[in-house]
Structure 1
Amino acid sequence: MDMSPPSDMNMNMDMNNATMMKDMAMHMNFYWGREATILFPGWPNYNLGMYILSLFFVFFLAMAVEVLSNIPSRRFMNNSMIGGLVQTIIYTIRMALAYMVMLSVMSFNLGIFIVAVAGHGIGYFLIKFRQLTQQSQEAGNNNNNNNVLPK
């Protein structure tokens, strides 16, 4: 007795397998286009609006990594136990975000790569610009205090 499934069923299984293989195929080199899978299956799902949203998402993830990388540790040093715990939590969040950016870039989509690098660069610039502004203000205040002569 023949136990093989009917030919219609075989054809449906072949089509399902072909669709699944297409969805699972990964690019192994950089490419342009909105046909990307970023972090989650079905996202951005070949939709231009969702692709643009994913670009913004990766950009802000990369910026957040840089901001969290440059938080001064002296803010939390009032209590060493609480300071250590806060720094550990910030580090854990930073690493989780960094891995999400890395996995996004591993989609090999050139748009995602560009916004990730831009997010890291702009995040670094904003933090360093703020630090340099604070330093120059402190230096200006010290110079003003030194120029005042007592009577």
Structure 2
Amino acid sequence: MAGMNDGHMPGMNGTTTSPPPHRHKMMKHMTFFWGTHSEILFSGWPGTRTGMYALALIFVFALCVLVEWLSHYRLPAKPGVAAGILRSLLHALRMGLAYLVMLALMSFNGGVFLAAVAGHAVGFLAFGKPEEAHAGKAMAYLPLISC
């Protein structure tokens, strides 16, 4: 039967139609991979250009430093509704940024993972609590994680 094996589909009135055009779909990785061809946070970003990939890594790094800063930022303990609203807004901002980092990590790109870990390390180094004196010994504490 004509038209059955040439990539065309049978249509109405015995005519044949062309198959729909194939759309290029990027494969979604479910394991870590190394490479600059990735999608991070937005469809088509950073694309296939190495410079945009480097910008994406810098963005993820800066996002992690910002999350660490917000995690260690201390507001003066003032009572009142306005202070409570400000604390809630800063917490919401911190959690929103942390979720953006998590979504970037779901690209499973090894470079994004390393950029995120490095950003958190640099942020903790810059903004983490200094050592506290406790019974004559200097002790350093890691902050509590609240996810």
TM-score range, shorter chain: 0.7 to 0.9
- TM-score, normalising length from structure 2? 0.75
Aligned residue for 2:38, secondary structure, equals: coil
Deviations 1:101-140 (A, max 9, x none): 0000110000000000110111011012xx539x89xxxx
Q: How many residues align?
A: 123
More strand by share: 2
Q: Hey, what's the Cα distance between the residues in 2 that align with 1:2 and 1:54?
A: 47
Deviations 1:50-70 (A, max 9, x none): 000000000000111111011
More helix by share: 1
The offset of 1:83, in angstroms, is 1.3
Q: Percent identity?
A: 38
Aligned residue for 2:39, secondary structure, equals: coil
The unaligned stretches of length 5 or more in structure 1 are 137-151
Q: Which residue of structure 2 aligns with residue 88 of structure 1?
A: 88
- TM-score, normalising length from structure 1? 0.73
Match of 1:38 among 37, 40, 61: 40
The unaligned stretches of length 5 or more in structure 2 are 1-9, 134-147
Match of 2:22 among 10, 15, 22: 15
Aligned residue for 2:73, secondary structure, equals: coil
Q: Hey, what's the Cα distance between the residues in 1 that align with 2:39 and 2:84?
A: 37
Alignment of 1:1-150 (within 5 A): 2-3=11-12, 6-7=16-17, 9-10=18-19, 13-16=20-23, 19=24, 22-23=25-26, 25-73=27-75, 75=76, 77-128=77-128, 131-132=129-130
RMSD across aligned C-alpha pairs, in angstroms? Answer: 2.3
